[in-house]
Amino acid sequence: MTLSTESLNTPMYVLMDGDGRIGPHLVPLPGGHTCSAIHGFSDKARYDRFISASTLPLTPYPLVRGYLRNQLESAGDEIALVVLDAAGPGEPLLQAATMQAVLAAQESKATHVPANYRLVLEPSTKAYRMQEAEPQES
């Protein structure tokens, strides 16, 4: 099944649980490739909605370019994603962009970033399976 890429608001915030940024658990990829994700939010209303649906003591924090650069430098072959404006933990479908795309959008002051990935919740494992989206035709 082919999924088309959408452009969503560029994330500017993350949620922290203590010192760590939170993100969904991902199903390992076939072939040994690893992937990771953090939750990113485009505005206060979006992260407030997520916080109200969570039982964790979460704190908003700016999603800064330095953090994104450091993550990309240390990622190696890992696919590093930013989930875009999730409504809460345990959502059945999440949209995500690569950290590289989010960094590029922030650096160019773009208001939108392409959501190149979909994360689909697998209820039996409570982890998300990653699906790549196809670019939309203009």
Give the residue, 118 or 77, on which the prediction is more confident: 118
Given a cut of 70, whether residue 127 has pLDDT beyond it is yes
Q: What is the pTM of this model?
A: 0.90
Instruction: Indicate the SS3 state at residue 52.
Output: helix
Task: Give the type of residue at 46.
Answer: R
As a whole number, mean pLDDT of residues 35-50 equals 96
Region label for 32, one of left (φ > 0), alpha (ψ between -120 and 50) or beta (otherwise): left
pLDDT, residue 2, reads 41
Given a cut of 80, whether residue 134 has pLDDT beyond it is no
Closest CA to 17 of 43, 41, 51, 64: 51
Buried b (16+ CB within 10 A) or exposed e, 102-113: bbbbbeeeeeeb
pLDDT, residue 137, reads 52
pLDDT, tens only, 53-107: 999 999 999 999 999 999 999 988 889 999 999 999 999 999 999 999 999 999 9
Report domain extents, the chain: 6-129
